[in-house]
A and B are shown apart, each in its own frame.
Chain A
Amino acid sequence: MSENVGIVIVSHSADVARGTALMVEQMVGREVPLGWCGGDPDGGLGTSVEAIMAAIERAWSESGVAILVDLGGAETNSEMAIEMLPESRRDRVVVCNAPVVEGAVMAATEAASGATLEAVRRTAEELTPV
């Protein structure tokens, strides 16, 4: 069996990111590779490309990584971080258009079942009103 898809949580707040990661671990267990980060490069509210890249590295799975983000800058910085990955990894990381907490739990639940990256993303995005 191939590896489970990894989940990365990116919030403006380290507390939100950590709290969300704890919820995922408790509700889904540890069989999903998990990375999280929050806060700008100085530790204030914001996001950091460097920290996002490190979180992707921690959650890395050959099956890919799904990123859940909260607000604007988290998304833009996550897209930037993906572009800065080695070319062989770039197309295996996606940003999900979903609420960060619910999305992370739903995505991780789907990932834990061995679903593909696309299926994980779809499950998270079903939470987003059309």
Chain B
Amino acid sequence: MMIDCQARKLLFETVAQRVIASADELTDLDRAIGDGDHGTNMRRGFEAVLAAVDELSAKNLGESLKGVGMTLVMRVGGASGPLYGTLFMSLGKSLQDDVTCEQVADAFAAAIEAVKARGKSDIGQKTMLDVLFPVLAVLREGGVGLPVRLKATARAAAEKTIPMRAIRGRASFLGERSIGHMDPGARSSALIVDAVADVMEGLA
């Protein structure tokens, strides 16, 4: 599939708008088990993406993804800046404008590894990785109805962080008390996957 300038703009705008619209929800989740700034931080980062969206999407897919990542790194202001920034910058490293689903899955796998390294974290630790990994598995399957499966998987994966105990990040200070709350990073990852899948489906 061809991801041209117009498609890139729609993609970045949709992702940014969805994150911004859910900022309060993310902050509420973070207030329960973190320091309550995830929504504010993500809103600041994605507002900067939105402000520069024309300039960002004018570059080819690889460069524009790197640009989005860099904007998040510089503007978010919390740990999620480098984490999401690394995800987008890593995706930008290998993707051409004309991509196959397999290439996207490979790039996504590499990006997840980069996020793991950046956060010194792994699956099962109540983080965004608990959404990204299952999403990668679905991406690998490809096939008909992919966007619908991506959305369902991301949503269910975020829900599954509720009974988990946090091992990384500030939520880990709470130990047992982190159990019973959805991880805000898992939720924001699910929101982003949802937005991308809606664009794929032509729903955005």
Interface residues of A (CB under 8 A from B): 40-42, 44-50, 71-73, 75-77, 79-80, 84
Contacts and interface: CB of A to CB of B under 8 A. Distances in A.
B118 A79 contact: yes
Interface in B134-163: none
Nearest to B70: A84
B82 A71 contact: no
Contact of A77 (B37, B79, B170): B79
A76 B44 CA distance: 18
16 contacts: A40-B37, A41-B44, A42-B77, A44-B40, A46-B77, A46-B78, A48-B77, A72-B169, A72-B170, A73-B78, A73-B81, A75-B79, A76-B79, A76-B82, A76-B118, A80-B86
Interface of B: 35, 37, 40-41, 44, 73-75, 77-83, 85-86, 118-119, 169-170
A40 B85 CA distance: 16
B78 A47 contact: yes
A85 to B, nearest CB: 13
Contacts of B74: 41, 48-50
Give the 5 A-B CB pairs with smallest separation, nearest first: A40-B77, A73-B79, A46-B77, A80-B82, A76-B79
A62 to B, nearest CB: 27
Nearest to B82: A80
Nearest to B86: A80
Contacts of A40: 37, 41, 44, 77-78
Interface centre among B40, B77, B81, B82 (most CB of A within 10 A): B77
